[in-house]
Copies of this chain bind each other. A is one copy, B any other.
Amino acid sequence: MADPRFFIKSPAISLANIVALTGAELLGDYKEIEIADVAPLDKAAAGHISFLDNIKYAGQFKESKAAACFIRKKHITHAPAGMILLVSENPYLCYAITAQAFYLDKIRTASVSPNAYIAESAKIGASCTIEANSFIGENVEIGSNCYIGAGAVIQAGSVVGDNSAIGANSTISHSIIGKNVIIHRGVHIGQDGFGFAVSPRGLVKVPQLGRVIIEDDVEIGSGTCIDRGAGPDTLIGQGTKIDNLVQIGHNVQIGKHSVVVAQVGIAGSSHIGNGVMLGGQVGVVGHVKVGDNVKVAAQSGVMGDLPAGASYGGSPAVPIKDWHRQTLALSKSVKRKETENE
């Protein structure tokens, strides 16, 4: 069970309710059975519900003590005797939904700390949690049921939609943020982009006159930086998830439901499509287009446009098969010499 110092667990939930939440098909007449907690297969105890998503864990599955398990139809023959099965084409999703039902976020208290600084002109919605030492500037608009962490800074004029969270010590300016957005700690959104004109006296700052638009259901990891647009806006599309320590330059646009893994850097004015997956530490140069549903392997360098729907790797990034061939060719050439020399 999760450490009660950090997590509040709901009381037991019946399988009937779990079926209602997840849409999974319960095999057998076990609706009245109460489930006490969620757990992975190897940690589950009596009364817990678990999931089998990948058949390579069939061994753990057979020995699991879980009372019940989400599972794909084709895997039910692997089930140990006595385990209650809930069939779904997406066992991991069912598990996620169930885990959400069991565990609430402990930090939301729906109270505004008297130690927060809130400008008089700011508008704060109902049921917000605003922690001590946070800063909410002039004319900021915060929706209802939001969480503003300790030390978070929201500068003048920015807007935060309903049910969104701004993590501790994050800083937000020049931003319009949608609903159900999660911004983790130490995220910096809306600062100047990196724009300079060369002059005989050195580099001269070009005023950055755009904003950052973050659509609904976006999640942004700790330490990530998103610069505001130079003239156009920087845009993060609905449902996109961004990991920690990512750099997003001015005027970048990312589509909907894309995934940007940790330490990726996207240079100014590049456009990333919908459903794109950028692996960890990928770099994307400025002014390029990455098509919908593209996948880029970790550490790759995207130096030009990438057509939609394909996978790429390497620096400069090439179609993933070519990258694997390059890697293999390099490896073989060296091995051959090694053999010759020995």
Contact = CB atoms under 8 A, between A and B. Distances in A.
A102 B208 CA distance: 12
A299 B326 contact: no
A6 B153 contact: no
A227 interface: yes
A173 interface: yes
B330 A194 contact: no
A271 interface: no
A320 to B, nearest CB: 12
A178 interface: no
Contacts of A103: 207, 209
B99 A239 contact: no
B222 A188 contact: yes
State how many copies of this chain the complex holds: 3
Given A169-B151, A262-B249, A223 B223 contact: yes
Interface string A299-319: 101010000000000011010
Contacts of A100: 205, 207
Which of A241, A243, A244, A257 has the most chain B CB within a 10 Å cutoff? Answer: A244
Interface string A181-208: 0101110100110101111001111110
Contacts of A247: 223, 243-245, 262-263, 280
Contacts of A316: 327
A111 B318 CA distance: 54
Given A191-B185, A267-B262, A206 B95 contact: yes
Contacts of A267: 261-262, 280, 298
Nearest to A246: B245
A188 B185 contact: yes
A74 interface: no
A97 interface: yes
A182 B208 CA distance: 14
A150 interface: yes
A140 to B, nearest CB: 10
A298 B316 CA distance: 10
A265 B169 CA distance: 22
A231 interface: yes
Contact of A205 (B173, B219, B238, B262): B219
